[in-house]
Amino acid sequence: MLNNRQERLLELLMERQDWMTSRQLARLLNVTDRTIRSDVDAVNKQPGVVGIESNVRRGYRAVKRQERGEEAESRESKSHGGTDIPQTPGARCIYIIQRLLFESRELNLTELQSQIYISGYSIQNDLKRIRKMIEPYGGLKLVRNLECVSLQGDEHVKRKFYRDLLVAEVQENFLNLNRLAHLYKHFDLIEVKDIFVKVLEEYDYSIHESMFPMLIVHAGTSIERILSYHYVCSEEIRPGLKDTIEYQIADTFFERIARRLHIQVKEGEVGMFALVIMGRRASNYASDHIKLGDKWLNTRRLVENSLVRLMDVFGVDYRRDEDLTAGLKMHIHSLIERARNQVALEDVFLEEIKENYPLVFEMGVCITGYLEEELGLPIADMEIGFLALHLGAASERLNSVRKYRAMMIMPYNQTFFDMCEKRIMEMFRERIEIVKRCSYFEEREVSQAAPDLILTTTPIDHSLNILTVPVSVFVDSETEARILEALNNLDKNRFRLEFASHIGHLMRREHYHGSLVCRTPEEVIGILCRGLMEEGIVEEGFRDSVLERERMSPTSFANALAVPHAFQAYASRSTIAVARLSQPVKWGGFEVRLVMLFAINDSDRRMIKIFFDWVSNLIGSPRQLERLTEECSYEEFVERVME
C-alpha cells in the first residue's frame, strides 16, 4: 500500500511522461533525495501496471512494467551496482564526495552500507579519510546528524576542492596506452602507435603530450570500426584541407595501416583524422553546422553551452581551451551522425575510464545529459567515454601549466603597483600567476576571483580561508621569504590531497598480509610478487627485477620499513603489496617488520615521487611508523597510513 507522497511521486512521473532527476522531484515534493530513492523502491515493490525506471544519468520515469524488459533492468542494475560499486578505500572516498557534492544534500549511512556492500566500521574510516582530505579547505566540514552525513561549507570552497581533486586524478599521462592496448582485440594498438610516431618523425611534426593518447585511441577506434566494415560517412573535403601537413600525415599513416592490416581506408577517414591532429586549427576546415531531421544545429554553440554547463555544475572552466573546443565540436558532429543513423560505437574503454577517472567520467555524463536535452534523442553510454577522453586531456593540459593563483592588494599608485608585481613575478614566475589586482579588500570580489593566496602591502583582517601574505612594496628579502614559505605550505596541502586521493586506490585487501612468517628478504619479495603475478598485475620478470634492485642497495629504511621495487614499470595496474612480519627480518643494515612493495603503471609515474615523499615523512615520525608495524586488520592499516 503506497502512502500519499509515494502516490504523488508516481502521478508526477506519469504526468511528465519523461525523465525527472531526483533533485527535481525532491524540490517538488519538499523531501530529500534520499526519500525519493526510498519511495521509488517502495513503488517498485508494489504490484501494478506502472513502475519506475531508474537511470544514473537521467533520473526516474514512469513506465509500464512489461515495457521495462531485460534491457531496462540491466541498465538500472548497472547504474546502481556491478562495476559502479567502489572497490577500494580511495575509490569509496571519491564516490562519497561525489554524492555529497552533486547528488544529495545528505547521505544516509545505513543505506550507503547496503548500496556499496561494506560495514559501518569501513564507512567510519572512509569519513575520517575525507575529513583529512578537506582539512586544508577551511570552512568545509562533514556534519553527522544521527545516521546521515552532509558536506557543509561555502560553495566556492567546495568547487575549489573538486577542481583540486580533478587535477590530482589526471596527474601526468592521462590514459595509459599499454593498459588500453589489450582492449583492442583485432590488432596491436602499440604497433599502431609506433607507426604513427614514425610518421610524425618523418614529417618533423610535434604533438602536445596530453593530446597523444586521445589521438591514438581515436586512430584505434577508427581501425576497429573499419575492420567491422563501418566507415565514416563520406563528406566533401573542405577546400585547402588536402594541402595541409596534417592531411599528409593522416594519409601516410592510414596508407601504412592499410598495408599492415589489409584494410581499405576511405578518404573521409583520412580527413577526419587530419582534423583531429590539427586541434584548434580544425575549425578553419570543419563546418559549424550539421543537419538533424529538418533543422540545422550549430555544433560550436553546443560545445560552448556544454562547457558553460560544466562551469556551472563543477566550477571547472575549460572555455579558453581551443583544442578542447575543436575536439568536442568534431566529436559532436560524429555523435550526431551516429545517432541519426542508429550506429553504435563498440564498448571499448568505458569501464576503464569510469573506474580510473571517476571525476572526468562524471563530467562526460554531464555533457551527455545536456546534449540529450538539446538534440531530443538518446545518446549511447559509450559516447560518454569519448567525451571523457577530450575532457581528461584538457584537464591534463590545465594541470601541466597550473600555477598558484595570487591576488594583489595595494593601496598605492599605478607605478608602485607595477614595480611590485614585476619584482614578485621575476622571483616566482614558475609558481604563481597574478589573477587580480585591487587597491582595497572586498570579500565578495575576492571570493569570486578564488585565489590560492593574497599578497597585500597593508594589514587585512578577513574570515576567508585564503592564505594571506604581507609584502613590502619594494619586495625585500623578508617578503621573498614569506612568499616562499606560503608557496611551500600550499605545496604541502596539494601533496596531502594527492596522497589521500591516490594511495587508497593502490592498497587492496587481497595484497595485504597481516602476519607473515619469513626468514629472508628474498622470501618476502617472492611471496608478494607471486600474489601480483597470479592476478596478472606484473609479469614473471618483475620478481627478478626487484631482487636485482635489492642487490644494488637494500631498500630498507630505519629499523622498521623496507620498500622493495623495480626500476621499470611492469605493472598493468598500480598496486602496493603489504606484508607485516611476525618476526623482524634482517634487511641490509636494519631489522625490518613492515614491507611495502610497490608496482607502478606508466600512467601513475607521479605516484613514485608521492610515495617516497610519504616514506620520507614517515621516517621522521617514529610514532606513526611504530603504529604501522603493529598487528592490525587491512582496514586499520589503511586508516593508519592515511593519518
SS3 of 557-582: the string is ECCCEECCECCCCCCCCCEEEEEEEE
Angstrom distance (rounded) from CA 599 to CA 535: 13
Q: In terms of Cα–Cα distance, which of 265, 270, 218, 264 is closest to 242?
A: 270
CA distances from 366 to 35, 80, 178, 312 (A): 23, 17, 28, 11
- DSSP assignments along 499-513, one per residue: HHHHHHHH--GGGEE
Q: In terms of Cα–Cα distance, which of 339, 338, 334, 214 is closest to 271?
A: 334
Q: In terms of Cα–Cα distance, which of 277, 286, 280 is closest to 199?
A: 277
- Side chain identity at 445, as an amino acid letter? E
- Side chain identity at 30, as an amino acid letter? N
pLDDT given at position 235: 54
Task: Specify whether the CB–CB gap between 570 and 539 falls below 8 A.
Answer: yes
Angstrom distance (rounded) from CA 328 to CA 279: 10
Helix then strand then coil, % of the chain, to nearest 5: 60, 15, 30
- Side chain identity at 455, as an amino acid letter? L
CA distances from 438 to 378, 427, 455, 476 (A): 48, 21, 10, 21
What DSSP designation does 100 have?
Answer: I
User: With the CA atoms of 212, 215, 221 and 222 taken in that order, what torsion angle do they form, in degrees rounded to the nearest 10?
Assistant: -150
pLDDT given at position 587: 93
Grid cell 608496482 in the structure block, residue: 599
- Side chain identity at 381, as an amino acid letter? D
Left (φ > 0), alpha (ψ -120 to 50) or beta: where does 104 sit? beta
Q: In terms of Cα–Cα distance, which of 631, 605, 628 is closest to 618?
A: 628
Question: Residue 511: is it exposed, middle or buried by C-beta count within 10 angstroms (0-12/13-18/19+)?
Answer: buried
Q: In what order do the strands lie in the sheet with 148-152?
A: 107-108, 148-152, 141-145
Grid cell 560545445 in the structure block, residue: 303
The CA angle 106-111-112, to the nearest 5 degrees, is 75
- Side chain identity at 537, as an amino acid letter? I
User: With the CA atoms of 530, 533, 537 and 543 taken in that order, what torsion angle do they form, in degrees rounded to the nearest 10?
Assistant: 70
Task: Specify whether the CB–CB gap between 395 and 167 falls below 8 A.
Answer: yes
- Strand bridging mode 404-409 / 295-298: unpaired
pLDDT given at position 79: 38
The CA angle 410-415-417, to the nearest 5 degrees, is 25
Question: Angle, to 10 degrees, between the axis of helix 22-29 and the axis of helix 4-16?
Answer: 130
Q: In what order do the strands lie in the sheet with 453-456?
A: 432-438, 404-409, 453-456, 467-470
- Provide CB contacts within 8 A for 233, sequence distance 6+: 268, 337, 341
Q: Is the pTM of this model over 0.85?
A: no
Angstrom distance (rounded) from CA 6 to CA 39: 6
Backbone angles phi, psi at 31, to 5 degrees: -135, 180
- Provide CB contacts within 8 A for 525, sequence distance 6+: 543, 546, 547, 550, 564, 595, 597
Low-confidence ranges of the chain (pLDDT < 70): 1, 32-34, 48-49, 56-57, 65-85, 87, 103-104, 171-176, 178-179, 210, 232-237, 344-348, 398-402, 412, 501-502, 504, 568-570, 603-606
Grid cell 508526477 in the structure block, residue: 12
- Side chain identity at 62, as an amino acid letter? A
- Provide CB contacts within 8 A for 286, sequence distance 6+: 238, 275, 326, 329, 330, 333
- Average pLDDT over the chain reads 82
DSSP 3-state of 289: strand
Backbone angles phi, psi at 264, to 5 degrees: -105, 125
pLDDT given at position 197: 94
Residue 454's beta-bridge partner residues? 407, 468
Length of the chain: 643
Grid cell 617472492 in the structure block, residue: 526
User: With the CA atoms of 184, 188, 194 and 197 taken in that order, what torsion angle do they form, in degrees rounded to the nearest 10?
Assistant: -30
pLDDT given at position 100: 87
pLDDT given at position 72: 40
Q: In terms of Cα–Cα distance, which of 427, 425, 387, 386 is closest to 406?
A: 425
Residue ranges of E strands in 442-499:
453-456, 467-470
Angstrom distance (rounded) from CA 28 to CA 42: 18
**C-alpha cell recorded at residue 488:** 611551500
H or E element: which one contains 592? strand 590-599
Task: Specify whether the CB–CB gap between 591 and 623 falls below 8 A.
Answer: no
- Side chain identity at 179, as an amino acid letter? R
Query: How many CB atoms lie under 10 A from the CB of residue 12?
Result: 16
Residue 95's beta-bridge partner residues? none
Please report the sign of the dihedral spanned by the C-alpha atoms of residue 498, residue 500, residue 505, residue 506: positive
What DSSP designation does 82 have?
Answer: G
